[in-house]
Amino acid sequence: MKIVINDSHESEAPTENVSLNNTTRNIDIQHLQTKLPHSVETDEYSEKGFLLQGKSKFFPFWSFIIDLSIVLISNFLMNFIKSGTLSLGIIQLKLFFLYLTVWLFVSFFFDKFQINSYPSYKTGLIFIAKSWLSVFFLTINILVLFEIYNLSHIQFFGICSLHITLELIAFSIYFITIGKKISEQSFLLQKEDIKKGRYFSIRRIIFDFLAFAVSILLINYLKHNTFKLSDQFEGLIIITCGIWFVSGIFTRKFELRDYANIYYKISPFIKSFLIHFSLMAVILFAFRLYLSPRVLLLGSIILLLFFELLAIFIKKFYVLLKGQNGDISSYLEIKDIFKREKPQPITLGTNLKKLLHLETSDYSLENYLEQDAPLYRFIKKNINLSTIDQRMIKVLNTANPFNIQIMENHSSNLFINLHKINDFRYLNRYFIMAHQKIHNRGFFIGQAHTIDTHKVWLNRKFPRFMVKTLYPFDFIYRRVFPKLPKIRRLYFYLTKGKNRIISRTEILGRLCFCGFEIIAWDEMDNRLYFIAQRIQNPSIDKNPSYSPIIKLRRVGLHGKIIYIRKFRTMYPYAEYMQDTVFEKNKLNSNGKFDNDFRITEWGKWFRKLWIDELPQIINFWQGDINLIGVRALSFQYFSLYPDDLKELRTQFKPGLIPPYYVDMPKSFDEIIASEKKYLKLKMENPFTTDVKYFFKAAYNIIFKHARSQ
């Protein structure tokens, strides 16, 4: 028996072994391993390789010492060239400490003293240039923002020029001597380009330009109490607009691209801001534009970044609300999963008795579940464990989908997860994932915290008066919010779908939707346990019932599919349990299921007052149904009718008010006779028959309180 165990606290990696009756069993799990580049040869562990690696250990220390020496030489040498002395004055000393501080910050921020930053000569040159530009621009930004103008511009630009020149020379010498050999021996993983699908967007350029123009006008109004710009600074405004455009092109912020997450999405805008801001600071500093509108130019750049980030997050939130509810797998997603999956015959089960080495699972599973004897008895009662090879059993206790995803497809005939399904954000995806891991006719066992068990838990935990006070709020948060079309997306975004309360019917209905047949279910230790068997591929129905107003697939005119709107009176996904309920409960005298547990308490009240039928008025106005006519039937109900009545029914549109309320039949056979009678009369006199049936039905409904249940 292969058992995979993960603790119930959602740890990232499954436990590697589990002891059963002093016998250690290995875990059937695929370990992810980092793949090294193919260019790495076996001689990396040779004596030469070890010597090079030994030298690389001291790289951070010597790199720091050499770079610090270059900074010191640049400052003192430029001061000597400018003043003829190595002694620094007060202004030169301030500049020195500012430059040194910025250099230290940038160097440690970019990991400049790590050998992995220099995988090749070209990459190393680019990296050094980037770090130097960061020091250069950041220093100028500080000088401009704090209005430090009383220093020699020639000396500052000279220090920066000496710094980059000496640094490039030092790196070239290092790389020619030992750097190339060390880089060849380093195992450096290359990062993938996460950005795909680049499209230049004129619309984005226009939007960004308008946002920049508004930023300039707003800052000018706040500064001078007028929107009119001074003619004195027209040249600078044209320059800043030019830099805006160039920085946008350089950072590709005007392109529509696919990004891994929101952080990468905002990265081009922040880079563009830094370049734009720094270049404007350089212009103001280099040309001594002390009287220029510093606040106007730099403030408008900051305000532009604010508008850009605001627009990105608004769009992100809009997509979140507009997008699909993550809890429900889409039609296309399910279809795509089974396109990629290797097809298997659905109707034929795996005959495990024909295996050469059959290991029965009865004894091992009983010992493993000895702490949960009721669960073992429940499994043994409903599954013939003697026919299941224990090597084809997998047991987990995890809410981490990764621990299931790494299992091999069709690798199990009995898959048990002891963690409650309430902590899975994407419940359908979890069931479909389990479906993929199981052989045809294999079994899936799980547990859940349901509405009923939640009520029991509340009554045990809190006094009765508190339960009555808190339950309405608990009901709205846990059961209403996840069902509302817009609010549910925000709910799942905030809660990640964890620890929500789900009805028994919804759980079993989702399992049927995902290709399982319900074998058994039972409540034990205030939890619902279920046994489901894989019998078919998941449904590709686009409209599973989930929202308050649902669309039900029905047989319409000429046998075509129509979607009847109704207020949902059953639990979500209840329609996928119709065959299961029919087998267990059968039909009562009026053609409905006996003791149909799929109907909610408020749903019974809705049906009694006919509230659930009101959305069918939309179908009536759309022409899908008539006011009077036979009831629109599901395909399961329709299959129970005799062939002659099926053919007769499809010649007419279904109706909002069926003949049931005229004849009030007492059995299924009487319902068939009533509908045959109505349809034959309608064929002879359509208008007269409908008028007669309308008034008779209205009389029975109003005065005799006729109801379908």
CA torsion 661-665-667-669 (nearest 10°) is -100
CB 400 within 8 A of CB 12: yes
Q: What is the pLDDT of residue 290?
A: 57
293 and 389 both lie in a single domain: no
Out of 534, 558, 587, a domain closes at 534
- Rounded to whole angstroms, the Cα distance separating 387 from 384 reads 6
Give the DSSP H/E element, type plus range, for residue 452: helix 451-461
Of 112, 119, 103, 117, give the one whose Cα is nearest residue 70. 103
Flag whether 129 is in a domain: yes
**CA 518/CA 555 separation, integer angstroms:** 26
Look at the block and give the residue holding tokens 């010649």. Answer: 651
Residue-wise pLDDT for 361-384, tens only, equals 555 677 777 677 889 889 989 998
Contact 400, 6 (CB under 8 A): yes
Half-sphere exposure of 92 (CA within 13 A, CB side): 20
Query: Where does a domain end: 534, 558, 577?
Result: 534
Last residue of a domain, one of 185, 204, 232: 185
| 706/709 Cα distance (integer angstroms) | 9
pLDDT of residue 349: 38
Shared domain check, 318 and 357 = no
Distance CA 13, CA 10 (A): 9
Map residue 324 onto helix, strand or coil: coil
Structural domain contains residue 287: yes
**Are both 302 and 450 inside the same structural domain?**
no
SS3 for 95-154, per residue? HHHHHHHHHHHHHHHCCCCCHHHCCCHHHHHHHHHHHHHHHHHHHHHHHHHCCCCCCCHH
What does DSSP assign to residue 386? G
How high is the pLDDT of residue 348? 35
User: In the chain, which stretches have pLDDT less than 50?
Assistant: 4-53, 187-198, 324-332, 340, 342-358
Tell me what pLDDT residue 555 has. Answer: 92
DSSP state letters, 395-420: EE----HHHHHTSPTT-EEEEEEEEE
Asked if the structure places residue 499 within a domain, the reply is yes
pLDDT of residue 681: 92
Q: Left if phi > 0, otherwise alpha if psi is -120 to 50, otherwise beta: which for 705?
A: left
Query: What's the pLDDT score for residue 115?
Result: 80
Token pair belonging to 206:
């226009």
- CA-CA distances (angstroms) from residue 641 to 77, 456, 666, 675? 101, 42, 16, 11
Within this chain, do residues 557 and 507 fall inside the same structural domain, yes or no? Answer: no
Number of domains in the chain: 4
Is residue 229 within 8 A of residue 237, CB to CB? The reply is yes
129 lies in the same domain as 228 = no
Domain assignment present for 228: yes
With respect to residue 236, please indicate whether it lies within any of the assigned structural domains: yes
For residue 436, tell me if it sits in a domain. Answer: yes
Q: Which residues have C-beta within 8 Å of that of residue 74, sequence separation ≥ 6? A: 159, 160, 162, 163, 166
Q: Spell out a b/e string for 140-162, using b for 16 or more CB atoms within 10 Å of the CB, else e.
A: bbebbeeeeeebbeebbbbbbeb
Same domain, 481 and 571: no
Range of the domain at 265: 196-322
The answer to whether 645 touches 675, Cβ cutoff 8 Å, is: yes
CATH number at residue 441: 3.40.50
Residues 117 and 168 placed together within one structural domain of the fold:
yes
Write down the pLDDT at residue 185.
56
Would you say residue 10 lies in a domain? no
- What secondary structure letter does DSSP report for 479? I
Whether residues 527 and 623 share a domain: the answer is no
**What is the distance between the alpha carbons of residues 104 and 454, in angstroms, rounded to a whole number?**
57
Shared domain for 317 and 431, answered yes or no, is no
Same domain, yes or no: 345 and 264: no
Residue 528 and residue 559 in one domain = no
Could you give the CA distance from residue 278 to residue 130 in angstroms, rounded to a whole number? 14
Same domain, 492 and 345: yes
The answer to whether the beta carbons of residues 502 and 423 sit under 8 Å apart is no
Give the up-direction half-sphere exposure of residue 339: CA atoms within 13 A in the CB hemisphere.
7
In a domain, 333, yes or no: no
DSSP string covering 580-606, please?
A: HHHHHH-B-TTSSBTT-TTB-HHHHHH
What secondary structure does DSSP assign to 609-627, as a single string? TTGGGTTHHHHHHHTSSEE
